[in-house]
């Protein structure tokens, strides 16, 4: 444990949030700080993420969803392009009520590799992006209050100078193998080829010259295209979607709690 008092001059919200739940988690945590803000959208593949550099005067809330127990590969690659500059960071993973497995420890490692200093980690519940009846509406009002209180605890710890040399949330190294979700959204007859889905796809899986198509190899089933389509033209195969819901019912039906991993003072951990 190192004692290093930090005064935050800027709060930086960095999120990979295709369906907005993950960013809602980051925003709730960030509410604890009254400082000028910077928001970085990791799903914007047109951005040059190497231009972002941070200092120890920044407080960064970096958030990503858990997809089958890992953070999206695109999120990890874009975070590693940044210059963390020793800035304190909170790693936040959002998951849809199943489990986050190795996603949180992977996010902490990714931030460390980019030069950030992870001082706390949060696992938060957000509405499942594929089967939205699981954790529906979360983070809800109660969740946002809890997440803000997490932010306040982290802020107090940093202001008092209790900064951990390393945060160790649950998870394993090597991480679990990436599993490709065997479902890809496709456009139906209502598609007007407006191209919104192609422009907003985080991984460029939808060709702009023919947005009714989807590159199944690139697609990460993040559901961004389904969320942004103004004509509700994109959807998953209904049979596969139904089978996924049935499979998840046993593990996603019990509400889970948000978790905080942080050292508040020598000898004591709040989790």
Q: Quick one: average pLDDT of 121-133?
A: 96
Q: What is the pLDDT of residues 159-199, one digit of tens each?
A: 777 666 678 899 999 999 999 888 999 999 999 999 999 99
Instruction: Answer with the residue of higher pLDDT: 265 or 189.
Output: 189
Residue 185: partners with Cβ closer than 8 Å, 6 or more residues away: 214, 219, 221, 223, 225, 226, 234, 235, 236
pLDDT at 2 over 70: no
Task: Give the list of residues 6+ apart from residue 260 with CB closer than 8 angstroms, or none.
Answer: 120, 121, 122, 150, 153, 154, 270, 271
More reliable by pLDDT, 265 or 62:
62
% pLDDT > 70, the chain = 93
Q: Are 154 and 122 in contact (CB under 8 A)?
A: no
pLDDT, averaged across the chain: 91
- The mean pLDDT value for 81-100 works out to 96
Stated as kind and residue range, the H or E segment containing 74 is helix 73-80
* Residue with the larger pLDDT of the pair 213 and 160: 213
Q: Indicate the pTM of the whole model.
A: 0.92
**What are φ and ψ of residue 12, in 5° steps?**
-115, 120
pLDDT at residue 264 is higher than 90 = no
- Tell the burial category of 200 from Cβ atoms under 10 Å away from its Cβ (0-12, 13-18, 19+): middle
Token pair 């709690």 is found at 257
Distance CA 127, CA 217 (A): 25
From 260, 266, 71, 24, select the one nearest 151 (Cα to Cα). Answer: 260
Residues 6+ apart with CB under 8 A from 177: none
Distance CA(5)–CA(8), nearest Å, equals 10
Q: Is residue 5 within 8 Å of 161, Cβ to Cβ?
A: yes
pLDDT higher at 254 or 14: 14
Q: Higher-confidence residue: 229 or 251?
A: 229
The first and second tokens of residue 83, run together, are 């210059």
pLDDT for 8 equals 72
What is the spatial distance between Cα 132 and Cα 97, in angstroms, rounded to a whole number?
11
pLDDT for position 190: 93
């Amino acid at each position: 444990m190192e004692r290093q008092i930090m005064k935050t001059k800027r709060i930086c919200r960095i999120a990979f949030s295709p369906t907005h739940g993950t960013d809602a988690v980051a925003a709730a945590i960030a509410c604890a700080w009254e400082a000028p803000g910077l928001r970085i959208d990791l799903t914007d593949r047109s951005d040059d993420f190497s231009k972002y550099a941070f200092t120890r005067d920044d407080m960064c809330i970096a958030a990503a969803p858990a997809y089958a127990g890992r953070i999206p590969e695109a999120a990890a690659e874009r975070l590693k392009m940044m210059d963390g500059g020793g800035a304190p960071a909170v790693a936040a993973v959002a998951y849809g009520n199943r489990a986050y497995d190795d996603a949180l420890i992977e996010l902490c490692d990714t931030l460390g590799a980019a030069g950030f200093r992870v001082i706390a980690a949060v696992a938060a519940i957000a509405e499942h992006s594929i089967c939205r009846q699981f954790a529906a509406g979360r983070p809800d009002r109660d969740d946002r209050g809890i997440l803000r209180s997490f932010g306040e605890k982290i802020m107090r710890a940093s202001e008092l100078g209790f900064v951990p040399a390393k945060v160790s949330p649950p998870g394993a190294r090597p991480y679990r193998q990436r599993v490709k979700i065997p479902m890809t959204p496709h456009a139906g007859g209502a598609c007007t080829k407006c191209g919104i889905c192609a422009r907003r796809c985080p991984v460029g899986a939808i060709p702009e010259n023919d947005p009714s198509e989807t590159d199944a190899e690139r697609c990460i089933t993040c559901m961004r295209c389904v969320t942004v389509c103004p004509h509700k033209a994109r959807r998953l195969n209904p049979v596969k979607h139904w089978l996924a819901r049935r499979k998840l019912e046993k593990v996603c039906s019990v509400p889970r709690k948000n978790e905080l991993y942080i050292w508040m003072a020598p000898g004591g951990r709040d989790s």
